[in-house]
Amino acid sequence: MNKKIIDLCPKNFLKKVNFKKISNSKNLRIPLISVVMPSFNKVRYIEKSILSVLNQSYQNIELIIIDGGSEDGTLDVIKKYDQFIHYWVSEKDNGQSDALNKGFKKANGEILCWMNTDDLFLPGALVTASQTLTRNPKKKICYGDWLSIDEDDKIIDKHFAFDFDSNHLKYEGFLFNAQSLFWTQEVHKSFSGFDISLNKTMDYQMMIEFGTSQSKHSFIRIEKTLAAFRRYAGQKTGIYRNEEHKEHQYLSVKYQYEDKYKFKGKLKRFFFRFRRVIWYFKRGGIKELKKRVLKWSIL
């Protein structure tokens, strides 16, 4: 892909605030959406992340930024948009999980989500999420497709979300991305909170616990691209390393699926890998399937 994310956005979507789209009204009948943004030394990217929230066509948003004591100019950017931010703080913390816990304690929204300070919402993402959950009152968690972009906003790849299956998530891997995920306040109240011992897999923990505490019928998949996840050299969530492996092992014990690393678990992984193959074909056709299988073969 040689397009940039800006090609998918209205003019100035990631460049400046569209004041016509900002509303501080507390009397709107549409659900309030709380966007929690954990932040630490991401001055290069945070402004675009903030604008991707503020310039949503959705009119009832509260943006909450929890900064871990940035010293790279990030605070200057946050202060620039102070009047549009519901709450922000900059102080030393115990990592991203701690920041997320602090942020969601401040969240008043009926619908919740989180956006990293190097990632982006696509135009219409919040409208789509709100409409989906409002029109499907039995659903409590919705999610959609997402893009991978590089440090220069170039689109690297498009990823298709699959129908939710908690065992697939446990034994084989992600079905969607945290940046394209929205859930109700009711769901969050049943969540134990982000484990502060986790440095890289707090999103996976959240998904596992949602799948454990909620019925699979609480999830609804949206066939729209809702967010962009940035990939670049030096980012925390980079190449799969020993630390991630240890955290995944820890989660398998915490949520009682330790057989993941035994023979039985390997058989389950094979089964769900086959399910992934089916979904690649189902969502993207033979072209998508070939692309993903080729990537597996060169890993």
Q: What is the pLDDT of residue 25?
A: 53
Q: What is the pLDDT of residue 278?
A: 96
Q: What is the pLDDT of residue 19?
A: 73
CA dist 142 and 88 (Å) reads 26
Question: Hey, what are 165's tokens?
Answer: 């299956």
Residue 39 and residue 66 in contact, taking contact as beta carbons nearer than 8 Å: yes
CA dist 148 and 233 (Å) reads 14
The confidence band for 295, taking pLDDT boundaries of 50, 70 and 90, is: confident
Residue whose structure tokens are 């060169």: 298
State the CB neighbour count (10 A cutoff) for residue 168: 22
Amino acid, single-letter form, for residue 59? Q
Q: Report the pLDDT averaged over residues 19-30.
A: 65
The confidence band for 18, taking pLDDT boundaries of 50, 70 and 90, is: confident
Classify domain 5-257 at the CATH class level. alpha beta
pLDDT at 237 > cutoff 80? no
The confidence band for 299, taking pLDDT boundaries of 50, 70 and 90, is: very low
| Domain boundary assignment for the chain | 5-257, 262-299
Question: Can you spell out the DSSP letters for 2-18?
Answer: --BGGGGS-TTTTTS--
- Alpha carbon of 244 to those of 97, 249, 265: distances in Å? 15, 9, 18
Amino acid, single-letter form, for residue 177? N
Strand pairing report for 141-149 and 219-230: parallel
C-alpha 40, offset from chain centre:
17
Range with lowest mean pLDDT among 18-32, 60-74, 140-154: 18-32
CA dist 124 and 240 (Å) reads 32
pLDDT at 297 > cutoff 90? no
The confidence band for 239, taking pLDDT boundaries of 50, 70 and 90, is: low
Contacts of 225 (CB under 8 A, 6+ apart): 122, 144, 145, 146, 147, 158, 180
Q: What pairs with residue 37 in β-bridges?
A: 65
pLDDT at 119 > cutoff 50? yes
CA dist 74 and 38 (Å) reads 12
Contacts of 9 (CB under 8 A, 6+ apart): 122, 123
- Alpha carbon of 148 to those of 2, 3, 59, 180: distances in Å? 12, 12, 27, 12
Start-end of H helices in 151-262: 166-171, 185-189, 202-213, 242-254
Q: What is the pLDDT of residue 113?
A: 98
CA dist 68 and 91 (Å) reads 5
pLDDT 10s digits, 219-235: 999 999 999 999 987 66
- Alpha carbon of 257 to those of 79, 172, 178, 204, 285: distances in Å? 44, 12, 22, 14, 32
pLDDT 10s digits, 167-180: 999 999 999 999 99
CA dist 9 and 118 (Å) reads 17
State the CB neighbour count (10 A cutoff) for residue 39: 28
Q: Report the pLDDT averaged over residues 189-211.
A: 96
pLDDT at 236 > cutoff 80? no
Q: What is the pLDDT of residue 235?
A: 63
End-to-end CA distance of the chain: 20
Query: What is the pTM (predicted TM-score) of this model?
Result: 0.93
pLDDT at 154 > cutoff 90? yes
Please provide the average confidence, as pLDDT, over all residues in the chain.
Answer: 92
Q: Report the pLDDT averaged over residues 272-278.
A: 95
Start-end of H helices in 81-201: 96-105, 125-135, 166-171, 185-189
